[in-house]
Amino acid sequence: MSDCIFCKIIAGEIPSQKVYEDEDVYAFHDIHPFARVHFMIIPRLHIASLADATPEHRELLGKIMLLAPKLAKEQGLDSGFKTLVNTGKGGGQEVFHLHVHVFGGGPAAK
């Protein structure tokens, strides 16, 4: 998707603060964090939203969910974290490339 900002982040066309990457997924810090630690995990594959995911994405979605606790711990969220997936305009989704927010550690520094 040429006009997708998260595809551009994956391609390195827009800078990001990388948390993790492998052949399937990319994770990076949210530019407007709502917690002290706030990053997103996204598939390299452009899936617009959770509502656009199909059974063929089952393994990819499972991989993302299993990465959340691992990366959260690496980012210092030892006692727990929150996850959030906004889906569709009614769900408050602003960027239409599927992403799982992972955040915690108290309020973001001002």
Residue 4 binding result from Zn ion, ligand AMP, none, given CB thresholds of 5 to 8 Å by partner type: Zn ion
- Residue 48 pairs in a beta bridge with none
Query: If binding is defined by CB under 6 A, does position 5 make contact with ligand AMP?
Result: yes
Give the contacts of 30 (CB within 8 A, at least 6 positions apart): 38, 39, 40, 101, 103
Of residues 41 through 100, those in contact with ligand AMP by CB under 6 A are 86, 92-95
Residues 104 and 36: their CA atoms lie apart, in Å, by 6
Q: What is the closest distance, in whole angstroms, from the C-beta atom of residue 40 to Zn ion in the complex?
A: 12
Tokens at residue 105, please? 């550690």
Q: How far is the CB of 104 from ligand AMP (least distance, A)?
A: 15
Q: Select which of 38, 97, 99, 101 is catalytic.
A: 99
Residues noted as catalytic: 99
